[in-house]
């Protein structure tokens, strides 16, 4: 199937003589274009699940399929190539390089994928879409938190990924800015049909996703889809 499938996905760590079950046998299907919020207390497995989906970690057991590809069959170089082509990342602390301007930061992932001659133009278009066309030459220190996160969102999309993984993307900004960022994500999700998997502690943010997955002790506690309201004529 196109999209993502987790089959009994498990990640355990050894800490001294203790086994930490960070993710414990999770089975899920994620369809292309879904907007999913993953919620749960600290230690519930949210970030571990995100890191496995982003091919940053290898599972202890179980399988992860991305667009029908069994990722367990990929070597390290193939995993890196899939990650660069199919997955974008947005983090709480932006992770922008201080010595690069906005355009250079957005273009950074293009170094890892041969994306044709339109790479720079595509980056400029994305910066315009996130509302920062007047900040192309600004450095991160000259941006507000919300502006920096918009740059991070544009950067996550520059390689035209089918999946964007977001780890507490609104955690370092105020409530009003957080809502603006979520509105931007919802618009990109709708217009680009990109799959969003967002980890958050914020129930207001999670409530705006079209599907909410709650983890507890590394297991799926609940998995609920939200039907979109039909506008009244």
Domains of the chain (ranges; CATH) run: 4-229 (3.40.50.300)
Closest CA relative to residue 96, chosen from 146, 140, 129 = 140
Give the lowest-confidence range in 31-40, 47-56, 106-115, 122-131: 106-115
- Give CA torsion, residues 134, 93, 12, 64, to 10 deg: -10
pLDDT in tens, 152-181: 999 999 999 999 999 999 998 999 999 999
Tokens 């069959």, residue? 73
pLDDT in tens, 200-214: 999 999 999 999 999
Residues 40, 219 contacting (CB under 8 angstroms):
no
Residues 1, 29 contacting (CB under 8 angstroms):
yes
pTM of the model: 0.92
Dihedral sign of CA atoms 137, 142, 144, 149 in order: positive
Cα(81)–Cα(75) distance, integer angstroms: 10
pLDDT value at 125 more than 90? yes
Cα(33)–Cα(163) distance, integer angstroms: 8
Give the pLDDT score at 232: 41
Segment holding 129, helix H or strand E: helix 119-129
């Amino acid at each position: 199937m196109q999209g993502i499938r987790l089959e009994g996905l498990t990640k355990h760590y050894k800490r001294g003589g203790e086994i930490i079950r960070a993710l414990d046998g999770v089975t899920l299907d994620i369809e292309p274009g879904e907007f999913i919020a993953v919620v749960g207390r600290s230690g519930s497995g949210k970030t571990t699940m995100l890191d496995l989906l982003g091919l940053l970690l290898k599972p202890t057991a179980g399988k992860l399929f991305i667009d029908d590809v069994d990722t367990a069959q990929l070597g390290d170089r193939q995993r890196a190539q899939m990650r660069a082509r199919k997955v974008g990342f947005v983090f709480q602390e932006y992770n922008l390089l201080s010595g690069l301007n906005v355009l250079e930061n957005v273009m950074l992932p293009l170094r890892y994928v041969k994306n044709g001659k339109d790479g720079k133009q595509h980056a400029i278009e994305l910066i315009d879409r996130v509302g920062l066309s007047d900040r192309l030459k600004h450095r991160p220190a000259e941006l507000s938190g919300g502006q920096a996160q918009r740059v991070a969102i544009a950067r996550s999309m520059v390689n035209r990924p089918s999946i964007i993984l977001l780890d507490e993307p609104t955690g370092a900004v105020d409530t009003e800015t957080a809502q603006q960022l979520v509105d931007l994500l919802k618009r990109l999700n709708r217009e680009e049909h990109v799959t969003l998997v967002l980890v958050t502690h914020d129930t207001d943010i999670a409530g705006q996703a079209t599907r909410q997955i709650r983890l507890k002790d590394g297991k799926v506690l609940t998995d609920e889809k939200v039907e979109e309201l039909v506008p009244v004529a």
